[in-house]
Amino acid sequence: MKGRLRRTLAWGDCDPAGIIYYPTYYRWMDAASWNLVAAAGYDAGRMRAEQFTLPLVDSACAFIASPTWGDECVVLSEVSRWGRSSFTVSHEIAMAADGRVLARGSESRVWCRYTAGPGTPLASIAIPDAVRAALAPA
């Protein structure tokens, strides 16, 4: 499954020249990863109720071009690597209008459960088969 998350570059996402701040790409990638997991049936409510979380253990982003204030962008995301309890999501951020690539990035996350409720240590667990199936390539 490929995720598609649309974003409009807001004034607070830019420097005074109207050019994107680099952390905006990371916020968008984070939102896109959580969006994928929600599409696989694990939205924030379910994650909280079942005491799961997905700590970020690695991230990277290559900056290719910059949108400016008001531009419509799209984050295209897919799982590019599966481990027993970890997975990597690859992201491509592009202009919505013409598909011009702005950035490419990735995030590696670990499927974890709190050992005794929120705020307690985490333990990695196997990614549910239903999640793997839902996020498999179409």
Over residues 86-114, mean pLDDT: 98
Q: What is the pLDDT of residues 15-58, one digit of tens each?
A: 888 889 999 999 999 999 999 999 999 999 999 999 999 999 99
Q: What is the pLDDT of residue 123?
A: 97
Nearest to 59, CA basis, from 95, 105, 100, 103? 105
- Residue 43 Cα distances to 8, 114, 131, angstroms: 23, 17, 12
Q: Percent of the chain at pLDDT above 70? A: 100
Q: pTM to 2 decimals?
A: 0.94
Over residues 95-121, mean pLDDT: 96
Beta strand 122-124 with 52-53 is: unpaired
CB 94 within 8 A of CB 102: yes
Looking at the structure, give the CATH architecture of the domain made up of residues 3-134. Roll (3.10)
Over residues 68-76, mean pLDDT: 96
CB 57 within 8 A of CB 108: yes
